[in-house]
Copies of this chain bind each other. A is one copy, B any other.
Amino acid sequence: MNEDVKDLNLSVVKAFTLLDAFTMDKQEWGVRELAIKKGYNKSTTYRLLNTLESLGVLQKNDNDKYLLGLKLFELGNLVAIHKTLRKYSRTPLENIAREIKETVHFGVLDKNQVLYLNKTESPQGLKVSTQIGSYQKAYCTAIGKVLLAFLPEQKIAEYLKVVSLDACTENTITNPETLQKELQKIRAQEYALDMEELELGLICIAMPVYNNRGEVIASISVSGPSSRFKLENIESYISIIKKGAQAIEANMH
């Protein structure tokens, strides 16, 4: 059941493995520390970083540390996959954020995870913020649960077989049967809640976005701190999000 043993170009694999070390939490790397982190030889790492720099894939900052470079910005903006979804979700997300005054996210399911395609941040100081292009566990996010809920039954079973439902907080649904019931509820009510299941203090509500064949292709969520996010507002949130979802659907057709 393993991947075919392809003969990959190891230098290229290493280069991208190095790039994967650059995250929001750690944006800068020196030669030595990155070599240690990845278990590569110092010289090899030096030469790879040097090569990537000469290509504009990395660049050095004032402290001679490496940063992700503008070549990646350029290439990232050329990615065609989900481009129309990203483009047509922008304005509707902004409208939702303006009305609700909380952060709005937009994502799809990719490799059993939520892939965030777009967001508009809350104008408020205390706010949730997710990195566009990043991935998150599906089973403990509102967006993810919506996207799972509207998957074909067989795909859900497959998901539950492959993914282990590790607890992120005490509220995370870690039992497959409980999750199945939750997904059923979500299908019925057409929205999902995340009641601090991913992170304590963080509440989200998400709703589906359909294509013209009635299939769910994406999901919109609104996220806020539990201190502000009152359940009595849900009905109003739902109608605002629904309006946004319909705007995206209209744009796509």
Contacts and interface: CB of A to CB of B under 8 A. Distances in A.
Interface of A: 6-9, 11-13, 15-16, 19, 22-24, 27, 47-48, 50-52, 54-55, 57, 59, 67-82, 94, 110, 115, 131-135
A12 B51 contact: yes
A166 to B, nearest CB: 22
Given A19-B75, A76-B76, A76-B77, 20 more contacts: A6-B51, A8-B50, A8-B54, A9-B48, A11-B11, A13-B55, A16-B57, A16-B71, A22-B78, A24-B78, A67-B80, A67-B81, A68-B81, A70-B115, A72-B78, A73-B76, A74-B135, A75-B76, A76-B79, A77-B134
Contacts of A94: 94
Contact of A54 (B6, B19, B82): B6
A248 to B, nearest CB: 16
Contacts of A11: 9, 11-12
Nearest to A135: B74
Oligomeric state, in copies: 2
A76 B6 CA distance: 27
Contacts of A50: 6, 8
22 contacts: A6-B50, A6-B51, A6-B54, A8-B47, A11-B11, A11-B12, A12-B12, A13-B51, A15-B15, A16-B55, A16-B57, A19-B75, A22-B75, A23-B78, A67-B81, A68-B79, A70-B79, A72-B72, A74-B133, A74-B134, A76-B79, A94-B94
Nearest to A71: B16
Nearest to A47: B9
B75 A9 contact: no
Nearest to A117: B73
A110 B70 contact: yes
A78 B68 contact: yes
